[in-house]
Amino acid sequence: MKKIIIAGGVLFASTVSATPFEKPEDAIEYRQAAFTMIATNFGALAEMVKGRKDWDQQTFSQRAQFISQLSYMPEEAFKVDGTDKGQTKAKPAIWSDWEGFSAKLDKFQGDMANLAKVSLDGDERATKRAFGEAAKNCKSCHSDYKYR
């Protein structure tokens, strides 16, 4: 039984690691969709942080959880050959400085995981601080790796 479970796990892991993209355009569309969902949720959080919408800790936390999960989605789509061309705002620096981009992406994922965690505690001030830290990293990555 143990061998079957291990074999199943290996098969599952190899299946998950294969990308679902047949063409570079599919990968570009996928990562743009993921970033759109991240931006939509992050924008809703920003509205609360800036006081433009009433503070709702439960909604904030839920959206922070969404963003944390979504933050992992775009990475595989940057690794597909040919996704540095076409209908994209991604700068060539992503691929010429993969180490730097990857470090910022890792920080983004960590910041979003932290924001999700902190938001669960219900401390509005701590949540807003975590949001501010996450927003700074978003802005720096956009400056270095995305055309406006």
What residues form the annotated binding site for heme c? Answer: 138, 141-142
Question: Residue 139: enclosing H or E segment and its boundaries?
Answer: helix 124-145
Asked if 109 contacts 34 with a C-beta cutoff of 8 angstroms, the reply is no
**138 in Cβ contact with 108 (< 8 Å):** yes
Cα–Cα distance for residue pair 82/80, rounded to 1 Å = 6
- Rounded to whole angstroms, the Cα distance separating 26 from 40 reads 21
Q: Which residues are annotated as a binding site?
A: 138, 141-142
Residue reference for tokens 């909604």: 59
